[in-house]
């Protein structure tokens, strides 16, 4: 592949996670130089970087609290210093804590909104001002916004906000040649999804899709790669990647 400063550059927030890692590896395979963002999992982020560099790709790990504007600005300064600029941002960083609404603490609500909504807002704001011509911002929502499953009220509310931010930002960037879309996965076999669920619950959710399986991180990465590369006429959309659950 070309050297790092000639390649297109992607930043993947939450790049050490299940879907995030798959996206990093897929974009690196497509020739991107990739910044692997992490919040607290430095070891996992370095594992992702090694998987890319072992395959002759270019990647490095960078830490930031996505809800802290100064930390996000410093993160992008580091990426720009290393790679010269940013073409694609994939915003997978997020948290999910489940409970019935009546039993959800305000601390849980505030923490979820801080990461999932404020974090998306802060990163999107940087993207709006700084992505290079021909760039793409790909935010992450969830199919649960429409599925309306019990115990998901806080998480779904945070992702509904992401949908709204994304659709409006796409219109605000008129004339910039930057696309803004949201990917909304359904039930996907990641640690975030599987944590705390019984085998019976997992089996039940796998059966919701007509394809009768859970999604895999690679299924989601395929759509992200499309939006990051050839999908220049897809803009201002929420794309449900869920095997037909809804």
- Contacts (Cβ under 8 Å, ≥6 apart) of 167: 182, 236, 238
- φ and ψ at residue 18, rounded to 5 degrees: -60, -60
Q: Which of 38, 152, 155, 240 is catalytic?
A: 155
For residue 13, the surrounding DSSP H or E stretch is: strand 9-13
Rounded to 10 deg, the angle between the 119-130 and 153-172 helix axes is 10
Locate 77 and state its tokens: 């300064």
3-state secondary structure of 223: helix
Identify the helix (H) or strand (E) that includes residue 90: strand 88-91
Q: What is the DSSP letter of 101?
A: G
Whether 155 is catalytic: yes
Task: Confirm if 170 and 235 have CB atoms less than 8 A apart.
Answer: yes
E strand or H helix at 15? none
Q: Which residues are designated catalytic?
A: 155
């Amino acid at each position: 592949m070309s050297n790092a400063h000639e390649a297109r550059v992607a930043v993947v927030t939450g790049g050490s996670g299940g879907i995030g890692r798959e996206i990093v590896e897929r974009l690196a395979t497509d020739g991107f130089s990739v910044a692997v963002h992490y919040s607290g999992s430095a070891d996992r982020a370095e594992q992702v970087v090694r998987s890319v560099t072992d395959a002759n790709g270019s990647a490095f790990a960078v830490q930031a609290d996505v809800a802290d504007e100064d930390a996000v600005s410093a993160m992008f300064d580091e990426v720009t210093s290393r790679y010269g600029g940013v073409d694609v941002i994939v915003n997978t960083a997020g948290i999910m804590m489940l409970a019935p609404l009546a039993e959800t603490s305000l601390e849980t609500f505030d923490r979820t909104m801080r990461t999932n909504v404020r974090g998306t807002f802060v990163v999107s704001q940087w993207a709006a001002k700084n992505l290079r011509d021909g760039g793409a911002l790909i935010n992450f929502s969830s199919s649960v916004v429409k599925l309306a499953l019990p115990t998901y009220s806080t998480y779904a509310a945070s992702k509904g906000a992401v949908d709204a931010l994304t659709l409006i930002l796409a219109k605000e960037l008129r004339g910039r040649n930057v696309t803004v879309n949201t990917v909304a996965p359904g039930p996907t076999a990641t640690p975030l999804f599987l944590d705390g669920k019984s085998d019976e619950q997992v089996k039940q959710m796998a059966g919701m899709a007509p394809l009768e399986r859970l999604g895999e991180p690679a299924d989601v990465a395929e759509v992200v790669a499309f939006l990051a590369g050839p999908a220049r006429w897809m803009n201002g959309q929420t794309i449900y990647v869920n095997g037909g659950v809804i």
